[in-house]
Amino acid sequence: MAQALVRYLCNQYIQVDGKKERLFAGGFGIFGHGNVVGIGQALFESKDKLPTYRAHNEQAMAHSAIAYAKAMRGQRMMFATSSVGPGAANMVTAAALAYVNRLPLLLLPGDVFATRSPDPVLQQAENPADATVSVNDCFRPVSCFWDRITRAEQLLNSLPNAMAVLTDPGRRGPVTLSLPQDVQGHAHDFPMDFFKPQVREIRRLQPDSNELAKAVAILKTAQKPFIVSGGGVLYAGAEDALANFASKHQIPVGETQAGKGALDVQHPMNMGAIGVTGTSSANAMAKDADVVLSIGSRLQDFTTGSRSLFQNKKVQLIQLNTTAHDAVKHRASPLLADSLVGIQTLAKQLGSWSSSASWAQKAKKEQDKWNKISAKVCAYKDPLKLKRKSSDAEVVGMVNSSCDSNTTVVCAAGSLPAELHKHWRSSDSKSYHVEYGFSCMGYEIAGALGVKMAYPKRDVIVTLGDGSYMMMNSELATANMLGVKIILVILDNRGFGCINRLQSGCGGEKFNNLLDHPNTIKEKPSSIDFVMHTRSMGAEAEKLDDLQEMPAALERARASTGCYAIVLNTDNEESTSEGGCWWEVGVPAVSTKSAVKAAYKKQLVGKKTQQF
């Protein structure tokens, strides 16, 4: 059975721009009982066609596979296989990340014996009420397709279904095939045509004529139209179409985290980041817009300011998306279609229509205003004069200005995604890779490994805080082991600075976030030597005394033949106050603290602005 599964994967191909490549670029595996003697042996036999990379952590290796798929715009992908029990359970977080971000990932966890003859086996989580349940059932709610292969011949139906989900933009996400360890070794006479090479092409969903007509009619009524550019623009390869559409019809564009980089930073209609981590320019235009065209976005709370951002009382929303679930959100008029096809079709139907000249002038004014603000916020400031360490925004500005156009920045959680979203000036659509659908601490280094495997000729710089680094750093050793060079910029702000600011901003006491603040017991604050720690995993490393040293350090990092880490102490209180918008969080309604009471009243005011 395992041999049949691997042979089938080896014969799946994807056609992209006239070039045929294997759909699976390989995968990651950590072997244990439950996958080493079955699928492990099958993967060894096909290692020249389907390479398997050894990792150090199951969650992290799946993150690397997800990052590869995201960098490849969902057109190529990887698998991840683990042992039973804790190995499989470790991958559930990664499955949830892929599920939230609509990214393809094939998970092949080992499972307990289908015969149950040796039960309970080592690492088996027994359920007294349901004998069919194993740890792998935890994958069910975070998989777009799930199956347990209890007979070898079930692959004949299960594998085609799995491939259909992995390659369909409207259904795409993680697929879990649970593989009982005994069944992996069972034999079956599979028909040879099951293993014939199959070439797939990504389906481009065409718009329904009625939905299209309604969308065009709504747009033609707009005096102040606005576009939300989501990840679907990039996955569809619609960057040029969006640029032309925005220019021709004079529609300002705000970019989500997943959609950042779709427009050139110099494009006159590019208002920059939208939402809670957005720019003042994008949010000002979104606030006044009477028609909002969302393209390829889930419109999550950070994008919409918890449904408060679009303030025009007459605003109408159009959702252009490949997924029906997303297309009807916020009571929108759905336009179910591929982003590229949808944009091109709308452009043709709209003809010479465009927004008013005054609206385009306002966009230019707001863009210029934000560019000046961002330049000021990101400019280097002498820490000695300010009596504080450098801020995240100042680091982002310095790193950005020190990079050429062949650089991809990677990030996932904490304060840095906000500062990057606002201030990183993307050189092209490959220059920005931030996972913010799940905002998963620990994705950063593993994700950078996957991005570098997708973009071997680009410099890949992962920016992360000390909290995320300590959450998961093992794949730095994997990157060094595989000879995959990534550059780390580690900002040590002594704890979870982002959440500490949220805690304080909602009136709470500083508690359990910063290392230097005592908690419920008297503690000795930890002190990590990140230079020595990264060196112990094979990287070259240095610590900077001053942010001004960053350009030279990055030059040394680029010249290095292996992974390189740059460490800098940063301020855990300072963040960009400019831009952004309201965000709903669960502030306590009852408290003896005046600061909490004030924060709660502020939340009530914000809730009155929610439109949908």
| Predicted confidence (pLDDT) at residue 525 exceeds the cutoff of 80 | no
Position 34 in a domain = yes
Considering 115-129, 367-381, 510-524, the range whose residues carry the highest mean pLDDT is 367-381
37 lies in the same domain as 184: yes
**Total domains in the fold of the chain:** 4
> What pLDDT is stored for residue 315 in this prediction?
96
Choose among 612, 298, 530, 323: nearest CA to 436.
Answer: 298
392 lies in the same domain as 539: yes
193 lies in the same domain as 78: yes
Position 449 in a domain = yes
8 lies in the same domain as 93: yes
Residues in Cβ contact with 299 at an 8 Å cutoff, skipping those fewer than 6 apart = 228, 230, 319, 326, 329, 330
Residue 333 belongs to what H/E stretch?
Answer: strand 333-336
> What pLDDT is stored for residue 597 in this prediction?
95
Collapse the DSSP code of 29 into the 3-class scheme (helix H, G, I; strand E, B; otherwise coil) and give the result: strand
Position 576 in a domain = no
- Phi/psi for 82 (5° steps) reads -135, 170
| Predicted confidence (pLDDT) at residue 544 exceeds the cutoff of 90 | yes
| Predicted confidence (pLDDT) at residue 529 exceeds the cutoff of 90 | yes
487 lies in the same domain as 397: yes
> What pLDDT is stored for residue 10 in this prediction?
98
349 lies in the same domain as 395: no
- Residue 521 — pLDDT band, cuts 50, 70, 90? low
- Residue 67 — pLDDT band, cuts 50, 70, 90? very high
Domain boundary among 337, 370, 403: 370
Sign for the pseudo-dihedral over CA of 577, 292, 310, 413: negative
406 lies in the same domain as 526: yes
127 lies in the same domain as 221: no
DSSP string of 204-233, one letter each residue: -PPPPHHHHHHHHHHHHT-SSEEEEE-HHH
CATH number, position 553: 3.40.50.970
What are the residue ranges of helices labelled H in 379-474?
383-386, 392-401, 416-423, 443-454, 466-471
602 lies in the same domain as 548: no
Position 578 in a domain = no
Compute the distance between CA of residue 305 and CA of residue 327 in angstroms, rounded to an integer: 18
SS3 content of the chain, % helix, strand, coil (to 5): 40, 15, 40
384 lies in the same domain as 362: no
Domain boundary among 146, 173, 200: 200
Position 257 in a domain = yes
63-77, 237-251, 506-520, 533-547: least confident range: 506-520
> What pLDDT is stored for residue 203 in this prediction?
87
Taking only the tens place, the pLDDT of each residue in 16-61 is 878 899 999 999 999 999 999 999 999 999 999 999 999 999 999 9
Average pLDDT, the chain: 95
> What pLDDT is stored for residue 18 in this prediction?
83
Taking only the tens place, the pLDDT of each residue in 449-480 is 999 999 999 999 999 999 999 999 999 999 99
> What pLDDT is stored for residue 513 in this prediction?
87
- Residue 511 — pLDDT band, cuts 50, 70, 90? confident
For 266-278, what is the mean pLDDT? 97
Half-sphere exposure for 276 (CA within 13 Å, toward CB): 20
Collapse the DSSP code of 533 into the 3-class scheme (helix H, G, I; strand E, B; otherwise coil) and give the result: helix
> What pLDDT is stored for residue 519 in this prediction?
66
Distance of CA 126 to the CA centre of its chain: 34
394 lies in the same domain as 412: yes
Which residue has tokens 């069944």?
183
Query: Which residues form the domain of 605?
Result: 584-612
467 lies in the same domain as 321: no
Position 104 in a domain = yes
Residues in Cβ contact with 39 at an 8 Å cutoff, skipping those fewer than 6 apart = 2, 5, 6, 81, 108, 110, 179, 184
> What pLDDT is stored for residue 518 in this prediction?
60
> What pLDDT is stored for residue 526 in this prediction?
79
- Phi/psi for 194 (5° steps) reads -65, -25
For 153-175, what is the mean pLDDT? 97
> What pLDDT is stored for residue 515 in this prediction?
84
- Residue 527 — pLDDT band, cuts 50, 70, 90? confident
CATH number, position 347: 3.40.50.1220
> What pLDDT is stored for residue 147 in this prediction?
98
Position 457 in a domain = yes
CB 336 within 8 A of CB 324: yes
> What pLDDT is stored for residue 520 in this prediction?
61
Domain boundary among 328, 347, 370: 370
In the chain, the percentage of residues whose pLDDT exceeds 90 is: 92
Position 545 in a domain = yes
For 251-277, what is the mean pLDDT? 97
